[in-house]
A and B are shown apart, each in its own frame.
Chain A
Amino acid sequence: MQVTVTVNGQEVTRDVEPRTLLVHFIRDDLLMRGTHWGCDTSNCGACTVWVDDEPVKSCTYLAVQADGKSITTVEGLEKNGELDPIQKGFMECHGLQCGYCTPGMMMVGRALLDKNPHPSEAEIREGISGNICRCTGYKNIVASIQWAAEHPVSTEASEVTA
């Protein structure tokens, strides 16, 4: 089946088997390896991307379901060579260790801030509770998202994203 999606702003069309999972489409067909997978049961969130700006676990979503939609992956966070505040936050606050859960965590964290620019600690914990990290014990991930909330992109840049 043919699938046309806009990935990080670029339209791509590919032939895929109907059963192809979005995570495999992104990784193996589009060769974008920033999106990871960590389970077979939709539990870990390592595969989180946005489909039309909503976080989705791409291991539980078929590539064909994304036809005509726009997909944003971790590779799409950086704008004009400038890291997104969420990326800077993870760096500033040591929000990552092995880095495997990190793309998923950042996609969820950024989406949370887009809806709720000033979340409380409890709201952040709730927001990332569908994503598992085995390395950090979450404290610094929460701090990283708080950092990003406190250092939003400049108005001009946020208008561009909006």
Chain B
Amino acid sequence: MTAVEDTPSVPLSPAGNPIGFGRMPRKEDVRFLRGQGNYVDDLNLPGMLHGAVLRSPFAHARINSIDTSAAEALPGVKAVITGETLAGLGLAWMPTLSYDTQAVLATDKVRFQGQEVAFVIAESRYIARDALELIDVDYDPLPVVYDAKKALDADAPVIRDDKEGKTDNHIYDWEAGDKDKTEAAFAAADVVVTEDILYPRVHPAPMETCGSVAHMDPVTGKLTLWTTTQAPHAHRTVYALVAGLPEQKIQVISPDIGGGFGNKVPIYPGYVLSIVGSIVTGKPVKWMEDRSENLMSTGFARDYHMKASIASTKDGKILAVKVDVLADHGAFNGTAQPTKYPAGFFHIFTGSYDYPAAYCNVKAVYTNKAPGGVAYACSFRITEAAYVIERIVDCLAAELKMDPAELRLKNLLKPEQFPYTTPTGWEYDSGDYEKTMRVAMEMAGYEELRKEQAEKRARGEYMGIGISFFTEGVGAGPRKHMDILGLGMADGCDLRVHPTGKAQVRLSVQTQGQGHETTFAQIVAHELGIPPEDIEVIHGDTDNTPFGLGTYGSRSTPVSGAAAALVARKVRDKARLIAAAALECAPDDLEWELGRWYVKGDPSRGRTIQEIAMDAHGPLELPDGVEGHLDAQVVYNPPNLTYPYGCYICVVDVDPGTGQVKVRRFIAVDDCGPRINPTIVEGQVHGGLADGVGMALMELIAFDEEGNNLGGSFMDYLLPTSMECPDWELGETVTPSPHHPIGAKGVGESATVGSPAAVVNAVIDAISPFGVRHADMPLTPANVWRAIQGSPVRTDIAVS
């Protein structure tokens, strides 16, 4: 049984597509199915050269010298660039999205394994790789900070000695909530439960790695950069600021992108090097990293060591929650998040429950690991927040010997409490949480599952049922509060209706598989009545789209979706004035029905949007103040985030002899407001659930004490396949956002945020008869087995 119902029927276009919201096949599919996608590595420009990056084998080492002569002598090699070359151009260091700096190529020392040391440009990718072998770097290895917990020890080596006056590895301390009020609530509580909870380092690992093709035209001075970016406009501005290139002469093109998940938000040294390479050689230069480079050097995710405490009455009313976080940011603070939020939106950790007091503090440190931290569909660290609250609530349920569903139902926010201000200052827009939870429990057959579990336990079989109820905050964000490197997080949208009534809509956001070419056409169709097949969505090219901050943090529908709806409404208003002129009546006499303005009381007299489009471009005399043509432009500055939420239930079977976990069922009920294209929304949820299963059970970037990356290939960094993923069971409830023009809340990351806790809670529930209350991800067979034996080890480091 499924609780998913199709949206009410809307009129169909001649091609059979809904003129508005509803299921339709994706417009972008045909080119991909024919093998005609256009990804960065598919680009082949005349005279194009190939770049390859030499990377450090050490996690921390001083560079004494770099000898590139043998590499330069290899036939087919055009240039070898080192940090010294870049230093001469003032480009050896670049700013990160967190106002830190990052080496483009190392000059003084290397600070993580896989760091960029030199860049070879050659006639082919094979020759470029051959040349890397010929570069001789003389390193002096240094002591390594491989464990965040030791980063602030008095004898820890200082990683960032490039920063003047830096004598330790501390980055920042940050706090949210009311500490005193929280402590008072804890002091007065009947029950307090505390747990150390690790969200280990993982990697988004999109199937397409990162890369770019740079072409600096030596004649015009125009730089064209085809690159794997989720934020083409923001990247353009950063290149202008970093390299001093005139912004009007930079065109960033983000063609088809093979998955992003946050991995393609930052600017990587490789992109900059392809630009420098093109400037140096006067030719287009392609740089595509391989998989190991992707896993070892580009934006990782999480790495949060959390100590969470929850206080409650003895009958399970939650009173307060506090979390201490030690955040491992790697060697450079390269997290991508709004400036005022160094720990992202982590302080939404209070979750979906009603209680008055909460407090968190986050201490961030440098380690000898790759930079990054905000990535992998995390909604700016809401993954960590949702995981910690849902895990600690389950720990409380275990302490109280209460059913975790009952404990949640007792504490969930009530519909009448919205808009609700959380103890850490977020204003949740709308929600009917209990309804969503009941739908999920009904779909799962929760009571029967508990009965089955009891019977199985009596027979010595270990099944577990895990629940997660999450609240997300997406669609960043209000410009006043949210910017990245000083760029406010508002997004533009342009709409042009051509004389024949066909339209082009230009977006600032960029799809990496989310189906924007379909969804945004449907939004415009919904507002204007133009069939979606008649609307072309243009995106991913800074010369041809309005400015905006791009696609991540589930912000496309909440921000640009709103912009698309509003720009269409603006066109509709203009169409009314033109229709009034054509029909020789007052605009106030007209009424709108989908695709047409008509005279009130005389529906036979009207003009379709297509007729109005021709009128707008034709000889019709337009009223004073009405310009010709039918187009409009908006910039949408969201008044608040939107707050999608959901309830997930996972059922697992655990073999206590081997620790093997089998995910038997997964029920996901999401409330993301109205669904523009339910098929696309469901696809987004499926993908996020697979991420959750992957992180909970297998994905991990661990390090050894020399700082070697132990997850540097797909042999070691395990991703879920069709065998680990169950047949997802989806449901929905619909609670619109009151402040979004079409009520939509965004959904891209909901499942990645909400699902890991459901899987982990299920596994812990299964093995709780062995006295286990918590075990850290990933719950590999070995880690589950150790937990059952009562001898867990750190999952994030391997020490000899």
Contacts and interface: CB of A to CB of B under 8 A. Distances in A.
What range describes how many residues of A lie at the interface? 35 or more
A78 B44 CA distance: 24
B33 interface: yes
A140 interface: yes
Given A36-B208, A99-B37, A138 B725 contact: yes
Nearest to A90: B33
Determine the main DSSP class of B at the interface with A.
loop
B722 A141 contact: yes
A39 B44 CA distance: 21
Contacts of A74: 34-35
A63 interface: no
Contacts of B224: none
B266 to A, nearest CB: 18
A61 interface: no
Interface stretch (B22-30, B337-345, B788-796): B22-30
A34 B683 CA distance: 23
B256 A99 contact: yes
Nearest to A38: B207
B768 interface: no
Contacts of B690: 133-134, 136-138
Given A43-B715, A94-B679, A137-B686, A75 B34 contact: yes
A139 interface: yes
B369 to A, nearest CB: 21
Interface string B494-522: 00000000000000000011110000000
Contacts of B32: 96, 99, 102
Nearest to B292: A40
B35 A44 contact: no
A124 B208 CA distance: 24
Contacts of A102: 32-33
Interface stretch (B87-95, B190-198, B257-265, B534-542): B257-265
B291 interface: yes
Contact of A94 (B42, B683, B727): B683
Given A31-B44, A87-B33, A135-B687, A128 B512 contact: no
Contacts of A133: 207, 690
A41 B258 contact: no
Interface string A80-110: 0001000100111010111111110010000
Nearest to B261: A134
Contacts of A139: 686, 725, 727-728
B258 A99 contact: yes
Contacts of A129: 721-723
B39 interface: yes
A126 interface: yes
- Most chain A C-beta atoms within 10 Å of own C-beta, residue among B32, B39, B290: B32
B67 to A, nearest CB: 26
Given A40-B290, A100-B39, A137 B687 contact: yes
A137 B715 contact: no
Nearest to A105: B722
A129 to B, nearest CB: 5
Contacts of B689: 137
A118 interface: no
Contact of A38 (B29, B291, B680): B291
Interface string A103-147: 100100000000000000100111011111111111111100000
Contact of A91 (B30, B204, B206, B258): B30
Nearest to B206: A134
A18 B197 CA distance: 51
- Most chain B C-beta atoms within 10 Å of own C-beta, residue among A20, A32, A106, A132: A132
Contact of B35 (A28, A32, A38, A39): A32
Contacts of A137: 685-690, 725, 728
B714 interface: yes
Nearest to A100: B258
Contacts of A39: 291, 713-714
A134 B261 CA distance: 9
A34 B714 contact: no
A98 B722 contact: no
- Most chain B C-beta atoms within 10 Å of own C-beta, residue among A78, A99, A130: A99
A79 interface: no
Contacts of A97: 259, 513-515, 683-684, 687
Given A35-B35, A39-B291, A121-B727, A136 B687 contact: yes
A121 B726 CA distance: 11
B126 A19 contact: yes
Contacts of A73: 35
Nearest to B514: A97
Nearest to A86: B33
Nearest to B23: A94
- Most chain B C-beta atoms within 10 Å of own C-beta, residue among A34, A39, A130, A133: A39
Contacts of B715: 41, 43
B36 interface: yes
A98 B686 contact: no
B142 interface: no
B205 A83 contact: no
A17 B125 CA distance: 13
Nearest to B512: A98
A33 interface: yes
Contact of B259 (A32, A100, A124, A141): A100
A17 to B, nearest CB: 7
A22 interface: no
A17 B126 contact: yes
Contacts of B686: 136-140
Nearest to A141: B722
A64 interface: no
A121 B725 CA distance: 12
B719 interface: yes
B361 interface: no
Given A91-B29, A134-B687, A134-B719, A44 B208 contact: no
A87 B34 contact: yes
Contacts of A19: 126
B209 interface: yes
Interface string B244-262: 0000000000001111010
A31 B43 CA distance: 10
A101 B714 CA distance: 15
A102 B35 CA distance: 9
A75 B515 CA distance: 22
Interface in A39-58: 39-41, 43-44, 46
Contacts of B261: 134
Nearest to A127: B722
A136 B720 CA distance: 11
Interface in B31-56: 31-39, 41-42, 44
Interface in B689-736: 689-691, 713-715, 719, 721-723, 725, 727-728
Nearest to A97: B513
Interface in B89-116: none
B41 to A, nearest CB: 8
Given A98-B513, A136-B686, A44 B33 contact: no
A137 B723 CA distance: 11
Interface in B211-264: 256-259, 261
What are the 10 closest A-B residue pairs judged by CB atoms, nearest first? A34-B35, A98-B513, A100-B258, A99-B32, A137-B686, A97-B513, A43-B714, A137-B690, A74-B35, A33-B42
23 contacts: A24-B125, A31-B44, A33-B35, A36-B258, A41-B713, A44-B207, A75-B35, A83-B33, A91-B30, A98-B512, A99-B29, A100-B206, A100-B259, A106-B33, A124-B722, A125-B723, A129-B721, A129-B722, A131-B721, A134-B205, A138-B686, A138-B690, A138-B721
Interface of B: 25-26, 28-39, 41-42, 44, 125-126, 204-209, 256-259, 261, 290-292, 512-515, 679-680, 682-691, 713-715, 719, 721-723, 725, 727-728
Given A46-B207, A142-B727, 8 more contacts: A36-B258, A41-B714, A94-B683, A98-B208, A101-B207, A132-B714, A134-B207, A134-B687
